[in-house]
Amino acid sequence: MDYELCKKLKDLGFPQEDFGYTGRHHHKQGDVCYKPTLSELIEACGEQDKKYDANFFLVFAYKDAWYAGYESGSNDPFTPYQVSGKTPEESVANLWIEINKDAVKE
């Protein structure tokens, strides 16, 4: 996961772990952004299940991309969100960003 994606997570309030230098942080121009694991990202997105009344959260690969989303059981199987990324981590990070992007505006 690159710095820009980690910075978006940080700016939207994704928890920043402070374990000193663990190799799971990006450092750029004096800014430090935590690079969460796939498990941490899935856990954070899983907390949104109740908020969106989703049946379940899923991550899957199709052709050259990874997708993350919620299945709501409605006619549109991936409501309210479905996003993609180059890796499972990127797709789940993008899903968390999509879910939480309006929190900054409130």
Residue 78: pLDDT band with limits 50, 70, 90 = very low
Number of domains in the chain: 1
Quick one: how far is CA 101 from the chain centroid? 11
Quick: pLDDT tens for 4-63.
Answer: 999 999 999 998 876 555 567 776 777 888 889 999 998 888 765 555 556 567 889 999
* Res 102 pLDDT > 90: no
Owning domain of residue 40: 3-103
